[in-house]
Amino acid sequence: MEHVKLKVIEDKEEKIQIIKQCDSVFPIRLLERPDSSEIMKKIINYACFYAAFVSEKDPVGYVAFYANDIKKKIAYISNIGVKLEYQHHHVGSLLMKKSLEVAKDRGMLMIRLEVLSTNEKAIAFYKHWGFDFELLEGIDTYYMSRYL
């Protein structure tokens, strides 16, 4: 999708606004989770955060990930989501590609994420990008990972 631009977001308030605007794409909304304030604090203060825009003020998706575990060299995708009307237009692929590039550039050897076991669209997307099931966390979620 040529008219989609990725932008690194460092401003804390801008991260919050983008998360709010895109939160409805998740089966369990980030802002409605019992631990949302803790997750938000981590994302706002520590995550690499990229947003996809079709216009200056219209975020259509974002990715928040961590690539700072210098001991284990494992990056972790916390959230990646694209508004429904922009899914299947390669926006998620742009965000995933950027995540993998940044993680690799920062010396990470692997990238990991956790996904709801019922989120078949997300699981198919991650498999397309080379992620495999790593650990079964529980009934509700799976860990998936891939080498960089």
For the segment(s) 5-109, the CATH number from 3.40.630.30, 3.20.20.140, 3.40.50.300, 2.40.10.10 is: 3.40.630.30
**Angle, in degrees to the nearest 10, between helices 36-46 and 12-22:** 130
Residue 47 burial class via C-beta count within 10 angstroms: exposed 0-12, middle 13-18, buried 19 and up:
buried
Q: Tokens standing for 112?
A: 């990991």
pLDDT digits (tens, 9 = 90+) for 60-110: 999 999 999 999 999 999 999 999 999 999 999 999 999 999 999 999 999
- Rounded to whole angstroms, the Cα distance separating 27 from 104 reads 29
Q: Which value, in Å, is the radius of gyration of the alpha carbons in the chain? A: 14
Taking all residues of the chain, what is their mean pLDDT, rounded to a whole number?
93
Give CA–CA dist 7/140, Å, rounded.
Answer: 32
What is the rounded (10 degree) CA torsion for 15, 34, 121, 139? Answer: 150
Domain coordinates of the chain in residue numbers?
Answer: 5-109
Residue 137 above 80 pLDDT?
A: no
DSSP 139: S
Quick one: pLDDT band at residue 3, thresholds 50, 70, 90? confident
Whole-structure pTM value: 0.93
Mapping DSSP to helix (H, G, I), strand (E, B) and coil, where does residue 53 land? strand
Tokens of 107: 């010396």
Amino acid making up residue 102: V
